[in-house]
Amino acid sequence: MMSNLKQNFAYARIFIPAIITITAFLLIVESFIFNFNSSQLVTAVILILLLDLAILYFLGQRRRSDLGIVKGVINQIRTNSFRSADEIKMGNDLNELEDEIKSMFMKTRSDIAHLKKLEQFRTEFLGNVSHELRTPIFAIQGYIETLLDGALNDETVNKIFLQKANNHTLNLNNLLNDLIDISMIESGQMQMSFRYFNIHEFLEQIINEIKPYAEKKNIELNFISSNHSLQLFGDKQRLKQVITNLTMNAIKYTNTGSVEVGVIDEGNLGKIFVRDTGIGISEKDISRIFERFYRVDKDRSREIGGTGLGLAIVKHIVEAHGSKIKVTSEFGKGSEFSFFLKK
Ligand SMILES: Nc1ncnc2c1ncn2[C@@H]1O[C@H](COP(=O)(O)OP(=O)(O)O)[C@@H](O)[C@H]1O
Ligand SMILES: [Mg+2]
């Protein structure tokens, strides 16, 4: 009881200057109006002081109870007692504060959920990376051990084994390069340098570099472009990575037929496309092929040196150009990947 009284007054401390000011003002006004003699003045002072004490007591009590509610809610948030924001109740007088605390609660919730998701992505990514690294390393180890165990002197297999081990080191190198790109993208360190360049010459040169791969697979690689002087805006080095990736994919995932790479002049944009008459991508896979490490057929992709990171990198670079990569595909008939660049 005593401590209650003391605490209520303690909470009222902040009102004391205001009460003193009002009291002094009232006394001065009253003594002017009523022309108090000294004993009347003492009585008036005592009465007003008693009234002040009562006011301070009630103000303190009120403030203490409000702050008590706030403290209680904060405490419950800290100890995770609320399952949803609706459970936070602070009464009518504090409803503005209640709304604020509710939105703070929801913001914290969604921040934490976001962080948890990121953490989960990271763990998943690390798991994938380790798995992808293990595959070629195990294979290389296997070939080397077999060679050391005697196959080295077996003319019918030694060269083949070395060749296979070498292929796996190439895969490993591709994987590391793609991982470096992905980590640069994630950390925002991928520097872009945008310039105007002749898209016709640019595509022609890339296609000439890739042609041997297509010929090896007996696939026609065609270049389609009508405007020889079309200038587009972008980062040539990064776009080369995009076109190379898309064209190599088109060749890799096509068994017979042709691959067409080209540019179409469309108003104030240039549309760049890579299409093939290949195996196509089913509806359910289309939405996932841009995910890191996602491949429709893991073994086939790995066998031909794929990392599953190509399209994730392509997507990022195209988006850094303010565009979006579009895919249309018919399962078993072929696919088209396209995006726009500004003129
Ligand atoms: N032109 C295409 N035709 C059919 N499937 C494709 C094509 N391009 C990509 N894909 C599918 O998307 C997957 C992801 O592509 P990408 O990220 O480049 O990885 P990968 O290293 O396997 O080529 C491929 O494994 C393949 O299943
Ligand atoms: Mg690829």
| Residue carrying structure tokens 């990376």 | 129
Confidence band for 306, pLDDT divided at 50, 70 and 90: confident
Q: Are residues 195 and 231 in contact, defined by beta-carbon separation less than 8 angstroms?
A: no
How much is the pLDDT for 310? 95
How much is the pLDDT for 2? 64
Task: Pick the atom of ligand 1 nearest to 279's CA.
Answer: 4
- State the Rg of the chain over Cα: 38
Residues, beta carbon < 5 Å, ion ligand 2: 249, 310
Task: Pick the atom of ligand 1 nearest to 294's CA.
Answer: 14
pLDDT in tens, 5-54: 899 999 999 999 999 999 999 888 888 888 888 888 888 889 999 999 99
Residues of the chain above pLDDT 90, percent:
81
Centroid of ligand 1 to alpha carbon of 297 (angstroms)? 9
Q: Are residues 166 and 137 in contact, defined by beta-carbon separation less than 8 angstroms?
A: no
| Eight-class DSSP state of 149 | T
Nearest Cα residue to atom 13 of ligand 1:
295
pLDDT in tens, 65-81: 999 999 999 999 999 99
CA–CA dist 168, 154 (Å, integer): 21
CA–CA dist 228, 216 (Å, integer): 28
How much is the pLDDT for 160? 95
* More confident call, 305 vs 80: 80
Q: What is the pTM of this model?
A: 0.76
Nearest Cα residue to atom 8 of ligand 1:
249
- The pLDDT mean for the chain works out to 93
Task: Give phi and psi for 81, each to the nearest 5.
Answer: -85, -20
**Residue 340 CB less than 6 A away from ligand 1:** no
What dihedral do alpha carbons 162, 168, 169, 174 form, nearest 10°? 150
